[in-house]
Amino acid sequence: MPHNIVETAREAGTFQTLLTAVDAAGLGDTLADGGPFTVFAPTDEAFAALPPETVSRLLADPAALARVLTYHVVPGRITSAQITHESEQKTVEGGVLRIAVNGAVTVNDAHVIQADVEAENGVIHVIDRVLIPAA
């Protein structure tokens, strides 16, 4: 039986920064117990590529951090088999992600580097950049 989204991300070992941010924003219980969700999960390397001041500003502002994190989450379970054409998906944050299929799958300006990591309450697609919602 797959684990919930948080447990699945923890077991993967490549989302420590994301999980720390989820805890800091108070979103752990929602991602563990809610859903189903589709999570576009940035790797630790994606967070490391952000300017250090961006990361420290977000960690100091839980509301802004929650906005950024919920911008990576779409209600419902969307697998790669369902991503067959360009679409827009409304996020939990309220913004819209542009998903494009052109040889590879992109979400805004991030590339999906691993798709369909199954969890009991959704699916995780690993991305190579942190998505920042419009101000």
Domains and CATH numbers, the chain: 5-127 (2.30.180.10)
Strand ranges for the chain from DSSP E: 37-42, 73-75, 87-90, 96-102, 104-107, 110-119, 122-127
> Residue 49: which of 117, 109, 101 has the closest Cα?
109
pLDDT at 4: 95
The whole-number pLDDT of residue 1 equals 53
**Rounded Cα distance, 46 and 18, in Å:** 10
**What's the average pLDDT block by block, 10 residues per block, for the chain (135 residues)?**
88 93 92 94 95 88 94 96 91 95 91 95 96 87
